[in-house]
Every structure is written in C-alpha cells, then in structure tokens.
Structure 1
Amino acid sequence: MIDESMQDGRVRRNIRVGLAVAIVLKKDQPTGALTWGRVAEILTNSSTHPHGIKVRLTDGSVGRVQQIYDE
C-alpha cells in the first residue's frame, strides 16, 4: 500500500535531488501539461506550498511538482 502523503508534491520533505517527478511549467499552468524529469535542485524554501514545490530538473526546466514517481 502506497502512503499518499509520501506522494504529495506540495510537501518539501517528499522531494529530493534525483527523484523522478512530473512538473507543470509556468507557461503550461493554464493547460496543466506536465513535463517529466529528475530533480536537480529544490527551489522552494518553505516546508509546503499549495501549488507544489518548485524545482529545477536536470534539463534546466523549472516548475512545480505535480506527481512523484516511486522507483
């Protein structure tokens, strides 16, 4: 059974460098289109954010975490 709280992209402690995630880019916020990649850097300093923790992916894309993938 998967603990839903561990999959919550709005909680900073669930995010770590190297994690596979789906983010929504600023330009894609109206459509909700997702971009997949691995976290290179966590940009949000607060412990939570209602729209998702902001991260930079290894390809340089910046957006808010919408989904976290277990490996």
Structure 2
Amino acid sequence: MTNRKDGRNRNDIKPGLKVNIVLKADQKTGKLTQGIVKDLLTNSSTHPHGIKVRLEDGQVGRVKEIILE
C-alpha cells in the first residue's frame, strides 16, 4: 500500500514527486488528477487548500495528496 500525505506543506513537495491535484475546473466536484510535479507555484510555506503546482503535462492545480511509493 502506498503512503499518502496531504499537500498543504510546501516543504513536503518537490519537483519529480507523484501527486494528486484538484484542477480549478474540478474544485466543485473534487475530482483528482494524478501527475508529476514540475514547478511549485505557491510561495508561502503552507496553504490551507494545498500548495499550487504545475505538472509536467502543464496542468495547474492544488496538491491534495502526495503519493509515496
């Protein structure tokens, strides 16, 4: 089983990590999108809704889960 952490702490998130994010368009439904972090877009050390990231495929959203395999 994979371990999961939430994505509210910037120190937990690094480029290359596999994460589940919520895209802006999916905020109402909470649908998760999985991908690999390319860039961190939130500058503050924490964010109550998750750190905003850009995935390698260009999608942008807030991290809901960090997938540790």
| TM-score, normalised via structure 1 length | 0.90
Higher strand share: 2
Tell me which stretches of 4 or more aligned residues in structure 1 moved more than 4 Å. Answer: none
Shift of 1:11: 0.3
Shift of 1:28: 0.2
- Seq. identity, %: 64
CA distance in 2, matches of 1:9, 1:24: 11
Shift of 1:8: 2.6
Deviations for 1:5-62, whole angstroms, at most 9, x for unmatched residues?
xx13000000000000000000000000000000000000000000000000000000
Report how many residues are paired.
67
More contact order relative to length (CA 8 Å, sep ≥ 6):
2
The runs of 5 or more residues in structure 1 that have no matched partner are none
Higher helix share: 1
| TM-score, normalised via structure 2 length | 0.92
> C-alpha root-mean-square deviation of aligned residues, in Å?
1.4
